[in-house]
Chain A
């Protein structure tokens, strides 16, 4: 069963912030929200993850709602190289359980 719901596709203008939403209303207390992206014909790339606090790294920011039922990945200044499929995954992490990928959001950055 899909644990996350994401829009199929989104467009964003180059240089603007890209905000990618994810619904995970059945998330358990011990599950983290992970984001990966896959640029065409490449392997998936880790972006960021969080439990309940907002997180920021050099690639992106992750905003998790207080009830943890949804989150938003923010790419602050999108470039053409950010065009990719973005996967939101809920995962308890830490062990060797493997990731279950949903369909993801195809983000297209427009020049």
Chain B
């Protein structure tokens, strides 16, 4: 199984709503990531979890709150979002490797959640 599964595929939420995006992988990967992608732009890194601990937060506003309940799951909790937060949110995972660039260190991406904030 080389899949990263993201749910839901589409989400429309109001600016006062609270919602969560979910990501799941069963490849035994110990690094998981959230990316944000605006239309016609490249993905931008938001958060990195390594061994279920937050290791990188790319200065993301606090209205985005990540959570890694176990090694297979990654959530992104959303609260009080703005219309400009509308984007494709991508989850990815990769294997931690002691040898840089070793085979198997590539990242696997989910198909994303397309979020629209109204």
Q: Which A residues are within 8 Å of any B CB, using their own CB?
A: 30, 32, 34, 36, 38, 41-46, 49, 51, 85, 87, 92-104
Give the chain A neighbours of B92 by CB distance below 8 A. Answer: 43-44, 99
A94 CA to B105 CA in the complex, in Å? 6
**Are B96 and A96 in contact (CB-based, < 8 A)?**
yes
- Which residues 61-118 of B sit at the A interface, judged by CB distance below 8 A? 88, 90, 92, 94, 96-102, 105-112
**Are A92 and B100 in contact (CB-based, < 8 A)?**
yes
User: Can you pick out 18 interface pairs between chain A and chain B where the beta carbons lie within 8 Å of each other?
Assistant: A30-B100, A43-B92, A44-B90, A46-B107, A46-B108, A49-B101, A93-B100, A93-B101, A94-B98, A94-B100, A95-B31, A95-B50, A96-B55, A98-B33, A99-B43, A99-B45, A100-B45, A102-B42
Number of interchain pairs (Cβ within 8 Å): 78
User: A46, A94, A96: which contacts B49 (Cβ < 8 A)?
Assistant: A96
User: A34, A38, A93, A99: which contacts B97 (Cβ < 8 A)?
Assistant: A93
A93 CA to B44 CA in the complex, in Å? 17
**What's the dominant secondary structure at chain A's contact region?**
loop
**Are A94 and B42 in contact (CB-based, < 8 A)?**
no
Least CB distance from A85 to B in Å reads 8
The answer to whether A97 and B48 touch (CB under 8 A), given A44-B90, A103-B42, is: yes
**Are A95 and B96 in contact (CB-based, < 8 A)?**
yes
Give the chain B neighbours of A104 by CB distance below 8 A. Answer: 42
Least CB distance from A2 to B in Å reads 10
**Are B111 and A43 in contact (CB-based, < 8 A)?**
yes
Instruction: Tell me the nearest residue of chain B to A87, going by C-beta.
Output: B42
**Are B106 and A34 in contact (CB-based, < 8 A)?**
yes
